[in-house]
Structure 1
Amino acid sequence: MRAAAARYGTAGSLVLTALVATPAGSASGSPPSPEMSGTTVAAQRAEAAGIRWGACAEAEGLPPSVRCGTVSVPLDYARPEGKQIKLTVSRAKATGKAAKRAVGRQGALVYNPGGPGASGTYFPLVGALPEWKRIAAAYDLVGYAPRGVDRSARLSCQDPKRFGKAPSQAPTHPDASYKRERVARAKAYARGCADRNPGLRHYTSLNNARDLEVLRAALGERRLTFMGASYGTYFGAVYATLFPSHVRRMVFDSAVNPDPTQVWYGNNLEQSLAFERRWADFRTWVAKHDKTYHLGKTPEAVQRSYEKVRAELAHEPAGGKVGPGQLQGAFLQAGYYDDYWPMRASALSAYLKGDPKPLIEQAAPEPRAAAENENGNAVYTAVECNDAPWPTDFETWDRDNSRLARVAPFETWDNAWMNLPCAYWPAPRQRPVDVRTAPGELPPTLILAAERDAATPYEGALELNRRLSGSALVTEENAGTHGIAGGPNKCVNAHFEAYLLEGRLPVRHASCAPHKEPAPSSGARAAELPRER
């Protein structure tokens, strides 16, 4: 889930497509919906076919140790014999030798990194990291590109060359003229999505959960072991609601709030508010290291330095490519991951000293990534717009975001513009799934959350914990990195390993001290880590 927003607005009047799916194993006695019956048909077909593993396509950029294949799923689960789409799947087999393993082989661990719109095909590579080696010894590490992503029935809503034009403005308090321009762009983008994608309405979280069930069957797994991060926690929770008896173990890392009244308009407003808190954390850290960066001895002084750079870029973009919009995008990443803090602070400091190169290197768009970024944005928009009702009048968006921007200016309007096509979406909307399981219906699951996570605010983890009976929550206190499994916190990793390798959970809620803050560095051109949304 991308920088999204609070839960203050009133949804506009929308025609909804009712959720018609009876959870597997439910005692309702009602006949299964066409979509549920279609999922059963597709899963049986996939189980019989399996996956033919071979060399990965060059486009995946994966080493020979990782093998790839495809799984066919129906575009429309109500018509399982109709149009099929192929999902790209990657796998690295468990590395441990059966005779030497203390925990034994435990099947496939399927991973989704979130988005919507992110691909997990790189996931098998994490097995080489020290924090993942014990898990990689026990599990086949399986990643995949969800429907719409990359070569899995790729979605596109506009020419990638027109997507993310730079330099751009990003006013924190936009005037009426700028708002009219962005409304027009949102309407055009929504039309482009519909015109370029005839099956647009089938790209939903419900279908992502159904696809996961088909993938489970294709892998030959009787029950699914799954790890979802960010948005991956949401459709993973939808899967747990629909197919609780098919779950073996599930890890929800940095959980989206699944409350149907918050999906997705409210979630996005709350996210903007949380990013303001995390932006304050970053400025506090920079002020603490003023001897290194000379950006100000207080968070307020650091803010003034940032605003000075922002104003100069509005007047003269750095390298002709980095305007206020690109600056904001680069520093938004620092809200997701604190390991970006030193390089971002260094780039800001260098710019104010007359050297714009580090900022250009870190913030300028990469032309080679344009197609990937456009595709990711298209999938994000399609899924979130299809999933739930959104206000259909701009007056509601204007009221809610103007109010929020008074206290949380850093991300609020940029977030609103990203989601505004949903106000003018041409496809029918669904009613969000009421994620919940009854006692004993679902095996115990693990929720991991950082207390100051901005992308998925902590309340989401608490809400998911309440809704999934028997789940346990591990909190990294006073920390805000988005996605904490297999990271630098040994306490978190101990809980993570104990659950995946032995099925052990804390009683209900465990706490871990925060990982260490990053050390200051004057190296403004440090290599950046590849990140998913």
Structure 2
Amino acid sequence: MATSRLLRTSAAVLAATALLISGCSSGSSSPAGEASAGGTTEAGAQRPAADATLAPLPSSTPGNLRPYYDQKLSWHPCGVSGFECATMKAPLDYAKPDAGNDLKLAVARKKATGPGSRIGSLMVNPGGPGGSAIDYLRQYAPQPAAVRARYDMVAMDPRGVARSAPVECLSNKQMDSYTQIDQTPDSPAETTKLANAYRAFAKGCASRSGKLLPHVSTIEAARDMDVLRAVLGDAKLTYVGASYGTFLGATYAGLYPSRVGRMVLDGAMNPALDARTVNLDQTAGFNTAFTAFAADCIKHKDCPLGTKSTADADRQMSAFFKKLDAHPAATGQARKLTESLATTGVIAAMYDQRAWPVLREYLAQAKGGDGRGLLTLSDSYYERDPNGTYSNQMYANPAVNCVDLASAFRNPDQVRAALPSFRKASPVFGESFAWAAMNCAYWPVKPTGTTHRIEAKGAAPILVVGTTRDPATPYTWAKALAGQLSSATLLTYEGDGHTAYGRGSDCIDTAINTYLLDGTVPPKGKRCK
């Protein structure tokens, strides 16, 4: 069972396999420059417009927050050579700071290497929500060399994530069972079992992390970023955020527009959308990605989905999932490849076209009765290591999403009513995506966030990056965010996969690196292939 509204960079999935199901947190697909956040989705549903605009916080720091802004970090060598780590204190509740309830947030950096003068700190976040920024930094910091030379590369695991007061919900054994729950229920009994799994998950989070759950919102994480900016001694925040990291960065810009430095938002989200619209958009996005994969696959004689057409590949993929629903495939271990695990494995490969050859191989194996390969892809998505230990990403993800926005669906009846629109958005994934979107229905704390536009009036130029066939953050979201942000420029990558920076396009990388190094944004309407 994949967690609804999960976003991550493609690099994170590929790295985990050593080589989503639906994902995100909020997000309008209106064209750049339009005043309204309304419109229609690719599936034809009416898109709700957000009436509110995120208001900036006062420019002066409240006195009760001064101890956090004035703290000094104690850095020490850690992990890979050249990296330093520290712990930063942040209030559990910004409305009622209390030193006795402070959170300890993990921070890491790799100092500028030169040559050239140091520009400042560059903070990074890979998305999720729930992705470890520190782990991402360790992968990201070696490149690009020109940027690394001029910036101290910095990351902070957001509150509730990885090393920063992590949200916990289930034991590893319980998580194994949770990921295998049938997510395309065919009967009232199966529907009840799925709903009960969501209830048990939420109950586990409440019992293990109840005090933290109301305080892991994106707004609170953005406020933590401002504390870190000040503690690092930077007057403005320079930032590269990918996937959900774009929502986090845009939120920072909305709260602190005068403190925005150079900001790259790659694989952008749209904060003006409600959870149901987000999930429906993403269903269509993964359908676009799967169609691109199928079009490539049928060119190969060994394509396990045939060589006729993409429509035939859709039918064969759906039939294969249905077969696994009745008869899971062997994997050489106690866990078999169920329909839900296989769906997650296929979805994981949609994040990056470099995984397509691997997916072809693993699909062929699974159709022959060997599910080990697809199980490996599924495990990479869930961040489950070979010893059966899960990272906390799948716990932090719903914790953030469910407090940021109200649930897409409140009960199974609402899901059933929406199934036609989800199936239209994706004949292959629509049903499972629709049921996954119910995961916040039984959450133990009420959402504190709402849909809103982010304009960040007065902010320095912001660079929004969108990929035309991005599965997890559809290109329309990038256009919408660029249209909302008062100082944004949209950079377009015409291609496949999730996010664009550092994925092989010299055109994209040059444009972003130039912006980070000298502040020059690309020309309006610039497109790369």
TM-score normalized by the length of structure 2: 0.83
TM-superposed deviation, 1:20: 9.8
Q: Can you list the C-alpha shifts for 1:405-435, whole angstroms capped at 9, x where unaligned?
A: 2441333343344442322223222242634
The 3 A distance-change label for structure 1 pair 496 and 190 is same
Q: Can you list the C-alpha shifts for 1:222-244, whole angstroms capped at 9, x where unaligned?
A: 11101111111112111101101
1:281-296 matches, cutoff 5 A: 281-290=292-301, 295-296=306-307
1:310 maps to a residue whose letter is F
1:289-438 matches, cutoff 5 A: 289-290=300-301, 295-307=306-318, 309-313=320-324, 314-319=326-331, 320-352=335-367, 357-363=372-378, 366-368=384-386, 371-373=389-391, 375-390=392-407, 391-432=409-450, 434-437=452-455
Instruction: Determine which of 227, 235, 239 is the counterpart of 2:252.
Output: 239
Counterpart secondary structure, 1:149: coil
2:201 maps to a residue whose letter is Y
**Who is 1:271 aligned against?**
282
Cα separation, 2, equivalents of 1:279 and 1:112: 27
**Who is 2:229 aligned against?**
216
Does 1:49 pair with 2:83?
A: no
TM-superposed deviation, 1:457: 1.0
Gap runs ≥5 in structure 1: 12-17, 26-31, 57-61, 514-533
Q: Can you list the C-alpha shifts for 1:284-309, whole angstroms capped at 9, x where unaligned?
A: 11001225768434223434543454
Bigger drift between 135-144 and 349-358 goes to 349-358
Cα separation, 2, equivalents of 1:118 and 1:399: 33
Q: What RMSD, in angstroms, separates the aligned Cα atoms of the two structures?
A: 2.9
The 3 A distance-change label for structure 1 pair 95 and 438 is closer
The 3 A distance-change label for structure 1 pair 221 and 128 is closer
**Do the aligned residues in 2 keep the contact of 1:230 with 1:256 (CA within 8 Å)?**
yes
Q: Can you list the C-alpha shifts for 1:333-386, whole angstroms capped at 9, x where unaligned?
A: 12211111010101222344566554454446845575544x212211111111
**Who is 2:80 aligned against?**
63
The 3 A distance-change label for structure 1 pair 151 and 368 is farther
**Who is 1:201 aligned against?**
214
Instruction: Determine which of 91, 95, 107 is the counterpart of 1:89.
Output: 107
**Do the aligned residues in 1 keep the contact of 2:455 with 2:484 (CA within 8 Å)?**
yes
The 3 A distance-change label for structure 1 pair 351 and 434 is closer
Bigger drift between 444-453 and 295-304 goes to 295-304
Does 1:506 pair with 2:522?
A: yes
Instruction: Determine which of 147, 156, 169 is the counterpart of 1:144.
Output: 156
The 3 A distance-change label for structure 1 pair 10 and 256 is closer
Q: Can you list the C-alpha shifts for 1:438-467, whole angstroms capped at 9, x where unaligned?
A: 65x100000111011110111111111111
Cα separation, 2, equivalents of 1:4 and 1:63: 30
**Who is 1:227 aligned against?**
240
Bigger drift between 313-322 and 278-287 goes to 313-322
**Who is 2:13 aligned against?**
none
The 3 A distance-change label for structure 1 pair 257 and 247 is same
Does 1:23 pair with 2:57?
A: yes
The 3 A distance-change label for structure 1 pair 364 and 186 is closer
**Who is 1:79 aligned against?**
96
The 3 A distance-change label for structure 1 pair 483 and 510 is same
Counterpart secondary structure, 1:90: strand
**Do the aligned residues in 1 keep the contact of 2:305 with 2:317 (CA within 8 Å)?**
no
**Who is 1:523 aligned against?**
none
**Who is 2:35 aligned against?**
none
Cα separation, 2, equivalents of 1:22 and 1:356: 51
Q: Can you list the C-alpha shifts for 1:149-201, whole angstroms capped at 9, x where unaligned?
A: 12211111222321132883656574433222212222222233223222311
Gap runs ≥5 in structure 2: 7-21, 25-40
2:500 maps to a residue whose letter is I
Counterpart secondary structure, 1:429: coil
**Who is 1:490 aligned against?**
506
Counterpart secondary structure, 1:318: coil
Cα separation, 2, equivalents of 1:151 and 1:349: 39
TM-superposed deviation, 1:147: 0.5
1:321 maps to a residue whose letter is K
Cα separation, 1, equivalents of 2:198 and 2:450: 23
**Do the aligned residues in 2 keep the contact of 1:451 with 1:476 (CA within 8 Å)?**
yes
**Do the aligned residues in 1 keep the contact of 2:54 with 2:254 (CA within 8 Å)?**
no
Cα separation, 1, equivalents of 2:54 and 2:323: 54
Cα separation, 2, equivalents of 1:78 and 1:67: 31
2:441 maps to a residue whose letter is A
Cα separation, 2, equivalents of 1:157 and 1:255: 29
TM-superposed deviation, 1:310: 3.3
**Do the aligned residues in 2 keep the contact of 1:168 with 1:326 (CA within 8 Å)?**
yes
**Who is 1:474 aligned against?**
491
1:445 maps to a residue whose letter is I
TM-superposed deviation, 1:403: 3.1
The 3 A distance-change label for structure 1 pair 10 and 396 is farther
The 3 A distance-change label for structure 1 pair 21 and 296 is same
Identity %: 30
**Do the aligned residues in 1 keep the contact of 2:336 with 2:371 (CA within 8 Å)?**
no
Cα separation, 1, equivalents of 2:322 and 2:455: 51
The 3 A distance-change label for structure 1 pair 443 and 370 is farther
Cα separation, 2, equivalents of 1:166 and 1:123: 26
TM-superposed deviation, 1:486: 1.6
**Do the aligned residues in 2 keep the contact of 1:109 with 1:139 (CA within 8 Å)?**
yes
Counterpart secondary structure, 1:400: helix
**Who is 2:267 aligned against?**
254
**Do the aligned residues in 2 keep the contact of 1:230 with 1:253 (CA within 8 Å)?**
yes
Cα separation, 1, equivalents of 2:131 and 2:360: 27
**Do the aligned residues in 2 keep the contact of 1:24 with 1:245 (CA within 8 Å)?**
no
The 3 A distance-change label for structure 1 pair 48 and 384 is same
TM-superposed deviation, 1:127: 5.4
**Do the aligned residues in 1 keep the contact of 2:282 with 2:474 (CA within 8 Å)?**
yes
